[in-house]
Structures are given as structure tokens and as C-alpha cells.
Amino acid sequence: MKYFFVFGSQPTLSLAEVLNVLDFKKIDFSLKIFKKNFLILKTKEKLNEDELQKRLGGTVKIGIIFLKIDDFKKIDLEFLKKELPKGKKIYFGFSCYGEIKEGVKSQIKKLALKLKKKLKEENVSSRWVSSKEIFLSSVIVKKNKLLISGAEFVFFFIKEKIFIGKTLTCQEFEEYEFYDFSRPIRKIEKGLIPPKLAKIMINLAKISEEKILLDPFCGSGTIINQAILMGYKNIIGTDISKEAVKDTQKNIKWLLKNLKFKTFNLKINIFQTDVRNLSEKISPKSIDAIITEPYLGPLKFKKTKIKEIVKELSELYLKAFSEFKKVLKEEGKIVIVFPVFLIGRKLIFLPILDNLKKSGWQILNPFPLELKNEIEMTKRNSIIYFRPNQKILREILIFTPNL
């Protein structure tokens, strides 16, 4: 079967997440096409798309590919009609991705009107759901009930071919908004990690839900809350700040009260400690994965201070990794954010990777070798997460002890 995955604003990171989750779940698949914001792959078995959508943080839509043509005019209305549900009122919409040529938007409109006419001839009322963009957002798809009372047809334009599919599931934007914006403690001014990024990082670690997960810079608990939502049972969170520990505890308490499912055998330990003394509080070789965003430096900084900031952060990170080595299992993983400072057009990274390699750490590439030349990664085997107008970017790295 052929499936498509449509990505959000961070496609490289989202692609890494999908490939690692499928590999971890031992799903046999082969890559067919990867473009800037979507992936098409082939599987031997049927995917549980609802379960996958809930698991993934960076994927906006998942659907199935059912047709390939070489000319838009060859689209068979009868074929599309078969993919629509039965009912007195049907909603449908179209989305286009890939190498979209001029005139496609007008072709989509003609197709929509033809389909409406065809349905009317059969005494079926219908509504074409459209937007200003050439594609429908997950919000539009969900709010117009296209997945329940209709269909979203998706067209992928790749060179001279057009792959046609139907969306099976979309990201639950309302759930993300609730668990993000409704929590009691949400301090943007302290550099809050986005919940979807936290989810992606947990998935990149490829560990099962019973394993022990640690966030040694827990802040207000975004990573920990996402881990709980994903079903993890053994979670430890620490922070040097007493206030941060209290914030995390408040957010966890609120989350557990508002969960839409019951948790069993959940073990959470949140306490205050300096990361440089971590091994004094946590048993040696007991942690399966460390998922964390440490202190990234001041949100506002002067260019003249950048060398001093980089030096201080480098020292903090090196000392943290020294402690990580004591508490992490030999086969354990670290998925971590490093700050990248944008000065004009220049990116300034933490210059500590050679030190880490010498002290026994290996950087893992999250992609298969055959994709190496088709993706946007740094020379450091890392992925940059960024948002418009940010001066501090996030560099996502995966480490494991070099045995």
C-alpha cells in the first residue's frame, strides 16, 4: 500500500521522526518520494494511521495513494465519487503539493464544479470546501468534517506525474492547543520549547514506554508532559531552579487531572538539583534516554557578548555530558537541543562536538544513508529547528555512548 505524510513547518525534522517511528515499530516500508513538505512510501501491511497520527508531532496529514496519472484532465470523476461516503450532504475539498504549475488552481476549480454537478445529477447535495491557499490546512479539514462527512482529495505533482490520494487522518490541533495554552504555567519569556518539538525529540530516541526517561533541564515540564501524553510510565525531571521544579509539578498535576485517558503504574520523580551534580542523585547507568533542552542563553544579547555566551554555555554542556555518561545506560540515547546564534547571516554553533567525541560520545544520523544527499542537515549531522525572526535557533542532535 502507498501512503503519504504531509509535514508542517519543519519538514526535515518531521521526516526524521516518521522514519524513526516506523523503524522502531518494525514496519516494513520502502521510500518512494520525498519532497520539501511531504513523503510518499510503500508498506507491505496496512498502517494504523490514527495511531501513527497521534504519535507523530511533525506530521499534519496521513493518507493513502490510490491513483497515478500523467495528465490532470484524465482524472475520472467516477473514481473520485467512489471514494466519497454515502449521504444526503457531502463535503469535499482538494489540496495540491509538489511541483505545482501555473493554471492548476483554475483546473481544481473546474474539477470541483464538475464533481458538484455530477453529484447533483444523482440527487446528492454537496459543498466544495476551499481556501486561499492551494492546499487545505488541518484546521479547515477538521472543522468542515471532511474526514467524517466527505473527503479531502490530495494531488502530488512530481515531474510529469500526478499521484492522487485521500486524507485519512489529520493532526488534532484543538488537543495541542488545549494541552499547551491551558496549562497553568507557561512562561514564554524563558524560552519555552514547543510541545510538538518535544514530542518529535522523544520519538527520535526510539525507546518503549516502560523505559526510564530523564529531562535534566525540565523548566516548566513541557517534555515531561508530552511524555505522559505519549504513554511513558517512568519519568524523571530535574532543574537547578526551585521555581522551575514547582512549575513542572503544577503542570503535571493539572495534566493528570485533565487527561482524557487513565494512567496506570505511572512513576514520576521531579526534584531540584544542578545538572553538574546529577550523578549524586540518580543511580549509575539507570537512564534509558535523556530528552532535554538545556539553557540556551539569554533571549536578547549583544553581538559583543556572543563569545562570552558561547564559552559559558559550552562549559555547561560539557559538564552536563560528563554527568550524563554516569547515569545513562550503555545503549542509551540523548536527544538534545544546542543553541545556534544568528548574527547577521552567520550561524554560530557551540564548538564542543570534538570534545564530546574525544570523551566517548557518538553522534547518530537520524536518516538512512540513501537519503543523505536529499535532506537539509548540517555538517554536524544535526537538524536545525527555527521559526521566523528568531535570533537563537535550535540544533537537534542525537548522541549515544561510543562503545
Instruction: Decide if 147 contacts 141 (C-beta within 8 A).
Output: yes
Which residue ranges make up each domain of the chain?
2-171, 187-401
Domains 2-171 and 187-401 share a fold: no
Return the pLDDT at 372: 61
Return the pLDDT at 76: 83
> SS in 3 state form for the chain?
CEEEEEECCCHHHHHHHHHHHHHHCCCCEEEEEEECCEEEEEECCCCCHHHHHHHCCCEEEEEEEEEEECCHHHCCHHHHHHCCCCCCEEEEEEEEEECCCCCHHHHHHHHHHHHHHHHHHCCCEEEEECCCCCCCCHHHHHHCCHHHHEEEEEEEEECCEEEEEEEEEECCHHHHHHHHHCCCCCCHHHCCCCHHHHHHHHHHHCCCCCCEEEECCCCCCHHHHHHHHCCCCEEEEEECCHHHHHHHHHHHHHHHHHCCCCCCCCEEEEEECCHHHHHHCCCCCCEEEEEECCCCCCCCCCHHHHHHHHHHHHHHHHHHHHHHHHHEEEEEEEEEEEEEEEECCEEECCCCHHHHHHCCEEECCCCCHHHCCCCCCCCCCCEEECCCCCCEEEEEEEEEECC
Per-residue pLDDT of the chain (403 residues; tens, 9 = 90+): 999 999 999 999 999 999 999 999 999 999 888 888 999 999 999 999 999 999 999 999 999 999 999 888 888 888 888 899 888 899 999 999 999 888 899 999 999 999 999 999 999 999 999 999 999 999 999 999 999 999 999 999 998 899 999 999 999 999 999 999 999 998 876 678 999 999 999 999 999 999 999 999 999 999 999 999 999 999 999 999 999 999 999 999 999 999 977 888 899 999 999 999 999 999 999 999 999 999 999 988 888 899 999 999 999 999 999 999 999 999 999 999 999 999 988 999 999 999 999 999 999 998 876 666 668 889 898 999 998 888 899 999 999 998 6
Question: 195-205 and 222-229 are packed helices; what angle lies between their axes, rounded to 10 degrees?
Answer: 60
CATH topology of domain 187-401: Rossmann fold (3.40.50)
Query: What's the rounded Cα separation, in Å, for the pair 335 and 235?
Result: 15
CATH topology of domain 2-171: VC0802-like (3.30.2130)
The C-alpha cell that represents 282 in the structure block = 540518580
Query: What single letter denotes the amino acid at residue 258?
Result: N
Instruction: Decide if 58 contacts 10 (C-beta within 8 A).
Output: yes
Return the pLDDT at 403: 66
User: Beta strand pairing status for 392-401 and 383-385?
Assistant: antiparallel
Return the pLDDT at 397: 97
Return the pLDDT at 345: 87
